[in-house]
Chain A
Amino acid sequence: MDKLVEMKNIHKSFDGVVALKGIDFEVGFNEVVGLLGDNGAGKSTLIKIISGVHSFDEGEMYIKGVKINPKKYSVKMAHNLGVETVYQEKALADKQTLWRNIFIGRQITNKLGFLNIKKEKEETDKIMHVLMGFRGIGVNADSAIKTLSGGEREGVAISRAMYFEADLVILDEPTMALSLQEVKKVLKFIQNIKDKGKSCIYISHNIANIHPVSDRFVAIDRGKIVGTYNRKDISLQELSEELIKYTKSSIQIN
C-alpha cells in the first residue's frame, strides 16, 4: 500500500451523460493534489466517487489499499476510512441549526441513539471560536443556517471538515464566497494538513491560490485526465499557459 487513493480506469455516467471516461488518478500519503479543469470537466464527480456519494460504473478504486466495492461503498465508509469532504454545494440544511449541521451523520449520542445536545453545542461553540473565528453578531450554535452569510456558510462547511480530523481532506471550491483574509486561513489549513502528514485534494479555479500549496497538479477535461505536473517542475506562469489549452474561460491567474 503506497498510495492513499488509487483509481484505475474509472467510468461514470448519469442517465446517459458520460461524466468520467476512464480516469486513472491517485493521491499519495502526505500529498496535496490540485485538481484543475473547466466547468463540467468532471472534478466534482470524481471527488464524490472518492467520498462515497456516487458509485462508479467501471474500473477499480483502492483507499488505503482497501479495494472498494462500488455497490457497498458509502459516505459512512469513506468517513470511517478517514476521508473528509467540503462539497461545492456545502451540504448544509438551511432550516436546521448550526450545531445540528456540524454533527449530522456523526452525532454524539448515548447507546439508544438519543443526542447529547449539550455536548454537541459546546463543541460547536468551540469550533466557531477556535476554527472559524466567527465575529458575526448574533451568530451562535443555535442559529439556523439560512441566517448566515455566504462566507459564513463556507466557514461552517470547512470547519466541519477540520473538526473531524481526516487522513484525506477534499476541498471542492471552498473559497468562492470568502474574503481575502478567509482565503488565507483556508490555505493555511491546507499547509497544516501537509505539515501533519495528511493528504488533500484541492479543487479551485484560482491557480494562483492552488500553486504554492500543491505538490502535484492534475488537469481534467471532459471526463479525462489530460495532464499531471509536479510543482517543482512547473512555475505558476507555465502552469497557467498549459491549462489555457484545456480551459478557456474559467482560469483566474490572480
Chain B
Amino acid sequence: MDNLEKNSKFKKFSQYKSQIALLIMTVSVFGLFMITSPEVFFKGRIYQAFLSTVPIMGLMALGLTFVLAMGEIDLSFPSTMALSGFIFTSTFQATGSVILALIYSLLSGVIVGFINGTLVTSIGIPSIVATLGMQFLIRGFSNIISNGLAKTVALDKTISYKIFAEKLGVIPVQSIWFIGITIFFYFLLFRHRFGEHVLFIGDNREAARMMGVNVNRVKIMVFILMGIMASFAGILSCYRMRTWWPTMGEGYIMMVMAAAFVGGTSMFGGEASIEGTFIGSFVIGSLEAGIVAAGLSGFWTQFVCGVLILASVTIHTLVKRRK
C-alpha cells in the first residue's frame, strides 16, 4: 500500500515535470528580455499586445492539439482562416448583420473540416496530403472570390466590437476567449467521452474500433473542430485589424505547430497537453515581438525559436521515456 502510494505520487510528479520545464523556459526567456530591455519589459503595454495577438494563433494551436492527439495533422488551417475571414467581412458588408456574418463564417470552417475529415476517412488519403491539397485549394479559392483585394470594414462601429476586439479593464478580450476555450477544451479532451475517443483513436485505432468507437465520425468531428477554430481566429483577426487581407494566416502554420510541440503534444497520437499548448502559444507567439523589442535583429527570432523547440521537445521525450 505504502509502495503503491509512493508509486502514484512519483507518477504525478513526473507527469508535471515537462510542464515545469516548460514554465522554467518561459520564465527564463522573459527574464532575458527583462534584462536586455527593461524599459519595454517592465511596462504593461507589451504584455497587453501579447494578450491580444497570441490568442489568435493559440486558438488554432488548441484545435491542432486535438488533431495531433488523434494521430493526424492539419495543414489547411491558415487558408481556412483567410477564407472564413473573407466570408465574415463580405457578409457583414453585404447585410450589415454581424450575427449572419458570424454564422456564415463559422459554417465555412465547418465545411472545410468536413471535407478534410471525409477525404481522410471515407477516401483514406493520409491527412498530411489531404490537408496540404486543401491548403492550396482554399487559398486559391479565397483569392479568386476576393480578387486578391483587401477589405476594410467598420467593425468598430458595432456592439460586437466590444466582445471580439476591445479590452475588459486592462485585459484584451481575445485572451479571455483564449482562456475560456482552453479550459473548455481541457475538459472536453480529458473529462469527456468525445476526448477519450480522440485519445484512443490516436493510441490504437483498431482497439478503439473494436470497443465500439465510431472512428470515422470522431475523426470528421475533430477536423470540423479544427476548422471552427481557424474560422474563429480569422474572425478575431478581422476585428483586431478592421481589415481582411488575402494573405491572412500565412506564416502561422509553423508557429501553431511549434506551440503544440513545445507544449508537449507529440505527433504520435494518444496523448496531448492542452495546458502545454496554452503556455507554448505564449512562448512561441511572444518571441518575435520580444526579440525585436529587445533590439536584436529578426534573424534571431528563428534561431531562438529553433533552440526552444528542440530543447523543449528533448525534455518532453526524455521525461516520457523515463516514465
Within 8 A of B (CB), among A77-111: 79, 85, 87, 89-96, 100, 104-107, 109
Give the contacting residue for B211; candidates A75, A113, A117, A140; CB below 8 A: A75
Q: How far is the CB of B194 from chain A (nearest CB, A)?
A: 7
Count of chain B residues with Cβ under 8 Å from any Cβ of A?
A: 27
Give the contacting residue for B207; candidates A92, A114, A117, A137; CB below 8 A: A92
Residues of B within 8 A of A100 (CB): 196, 199-200
Chain A residues touching B, range: 20 to 34
In the assembled complex, the Cα of A87 lies from the Cα of B8 at a distance in Å of: 30
Report whether A104 and B204 are in contact in the complex, using a CB–CB cutoff of 8 Å.
no
In the assembled complex, the Cα of A113 lies from the Cα of B198 at a distance in Å of: 14
A104-B200, A142-B8 known; A91 and B211 CB under 8 Å? Answer: yes
Report whether B203 and A140 are in contact in the complex, using a CB–CB cutoff of 8 Å.
no
In the assembled complex, the Cα of A95 lies from the Cα of B11 at a distance in Å of: 14
Q: How far is the CB of B269 from chain A (nearest CB, A)?
A: 9
Residues of B within 8 A of A115 (CB): 191-193, 196
Report whether A96 and B193 are in contact in the complex, using a CB–CB cutoff of 8 Å.
no
A79-B212, A105-B211, A106-B212 known; A93 and B193 CB under 8 Å? Answer: no
Residues of B within 8 A of A51 (CB): 210
In the assembled complex, the Cα of A53 lies from the Cα of B3 at a distance in Å of: 40
Q: How far is the CB of B215 from chain A (nearest CB, A)?
A: 11
Report whether B192 and A113 are in contact in the complex, using a CB–CB cutoff of 8 Å.
yes
Report whether A75 and B212 are in contact in the complex, using a CB–CB cutoff of 8 Å.
yes
Main secondary structure on chain A at its contact with chain B? loop
Give the contacting residue for A140; candidates B4, B193, B194, B271; CB below 8 A: B4
In the assembled complex, the Cα of A137 lies from the Cα of B199 at a distance in Å of: 27
Q: How far is the CB of B87 from chain A (nearest CB, A)?
A: 30
Q: Which of A87, A96, A117, A142 has the most CB of B within 10 A?
A: A96
Q: How far is the CB of A250 from chain B (nearest CB, A)?
A: 23
Residues of A within 8 A of B197 (CB): 104
B250 on interface, CB distance cutoff 8 Å: no
Report whether B8 and A140 are in contact in the complex, using a CB–CB cutoff of 8 Å.
yes
Residues of A within 8 A of B208 (CB): 93, 104-105
B32 on interface, CB distance cutoff 8 Å: no
Report whether A104 and B213 are in contact in the complex, using a CB–CB cutoff of 8 Å.
yes
A74 on interface, CB distance cutoff 8 Å: yes
Residues of A within 8 A of B212 (CB): 52, 74-76, 79, 104-106
Report whether A89 and B206 are in contact in the complex, using a CB–CB cutoff of 8 Å.
yes
> Beta-carbon contacts of B3-18 to A below 8 Å, as 1s and 0s?
1100110010000000
A138 on interface, CB distance cutoff 8 Å: yes
Within 8 A of A (CB), among B159-199: 187, 191-194, 196-197, 199
Report whether A96 and B200 are in contact in the complex, using a CB–CB cutoff of 8 Å.
yes
Report whether B209 and A96 are in contact in the complex, using a CB–CB cutoff of 8 Å.
no
Sample 10 A-B pairs with CB under 8 A, ordered by A number. A75-B209, A75-B212, A93-B204, A100-B196, A100-B200, A105-B212, A115-B196, A138-B7, A140-B8, A142-B11
Instruction: Give the interface of A toward B (CB within 8 A).
Output: 51-53, 74-76, 79, 85, 87, 89-96, 100, 104-107, 109, 113-115, 117, 137-138, 140, 142
4 closest A-B pairs by CB: A105-B212, A75-B212, A93-B203, A105-B211
